[in-house]
Structure 1
Amino acid sequence: MNQVVLKGRVVADLEMRFTPGGKGVISGTLAVQRRFKNQDGNYDADFIDFVQWGEKPAEILSKYVSKGDELTIAGEMRTRIYENNEGRKVKVTECHVEKFDLPSKPKSQGNQNDNSQSDSGYDDPFGGGAINISSDDLPF
């Protein structure tokens, strides 16, 4: 069985691109904190690359996730080998995301009215205005 669930912080803004056939894909790196402290008393982190295939899920991640956001992903680990421009073989291990949980605070989408309410009647607890996510934006 090959199933992983990872929770961490996004290291850099995600990179969205399209294959020559037009298929959307987004990739990034997640810093996942280890559960134990090192000998200096600090927590180390593992930096795990991930990819999400499919134009709609990739667009959702691109729209709502940015550097520093906490993100939970679930999928499977895959390893591939390719030859780089210098003729050397490169081995890459990455998580192929099947499911994800958006961060609790979407990335900023411009200047919004701080005291507005969403259609559901709840204020944004982060003071950034209403959070408007249409059901068409959800991956499920």
Structure 2
Amino acid sequence: MLNRITMTGRLTSDPELRKTNAGISVTGFSIANQRNFKNAAGEFDTDFFDVEAWRTTADFIVNHFSKGSMITVDGRLQTQKYQDKNGNNRTSIRIIADNVYFGDSKSKTEEKAPVNRETAEEYHMSGSFGGFDPGDYEELNIDSELPFNPFA
């Protein structure tokens, strides 16, 4: 089965290195990824994704990235089932990073202000290609009749 994801976003906090009992490096962090189209209020929504990295990838991230840095993560999605403090069953989804890449040059990264959930909208990536403006299109109403089943 194929399970691959590539995501670019800005770190919402400084990554911290932890070690397992066996001495294996691990870090977890969140990235903010702003959508390329405006919502009904005329604003860009931002999605937040949890990322986990192990071994040398974790070491690399902690040594070269900080809050506000643009990072491209290549990896796979993984789910984890757990019970919250009230005994409710929950599922979390995170990206397990296999490879990471710099999204900014060092000078640009140093100029950027830190990103958090409140200020993430300042970091919109245009994503326009050849004059394509996602705002020119209406959202598809999935309840309408389609010539195919998008969920099949």
| Superposition TM-score, scaled by structure 1 size | 0.69
Measured after TM superposition, the shift of residue 20 of structure 1 is 1.4
Change (3 A) 1:21 1:86: farther
1:120-131 paired onto structure 2 within 5 Å: none
Aligned twin of 2:23: 22
Question: Partners in 1 of 2:36 and 2:22 — Cα distance?
Answer: 41
Measured after TM superposition, the shift of residue 85 of structure 1 is 5.3
Matched to 1:81, the amino acid is K
1:73-112 paired onto structure 2 within 5 Å: 73-84=73-84, 87-102=87-102, 103-105=104-106
Matched to 1:74, the amino acid is D
Change (3 A) 1:49 1:21: same
Aligned twin of 2:57: 57
Runs of 4+ in structure 1 over 6 Å off: none
Where does structure 1 lack aligned partners over 5 or more consecutive residues? 109-140
Higher helix share: 2
Change (3 A) 1:92 1:12: same
% identical equivalent positions: 30
Q: CA RMSD in A?
A: 1.9
1:39-50 paired onto structure 2 within 5 Å: 39-50=40-51
Where does structure 2 lack aligned partners over 5 or more consecutive residues? 111-152
Higher strand share: 1
Matched to 1:70, the amino acid is M
Q: Is the 8 A contact 2:57 2:100 kept in 1?
A: no
Matched to 2:27, the amino acid is I
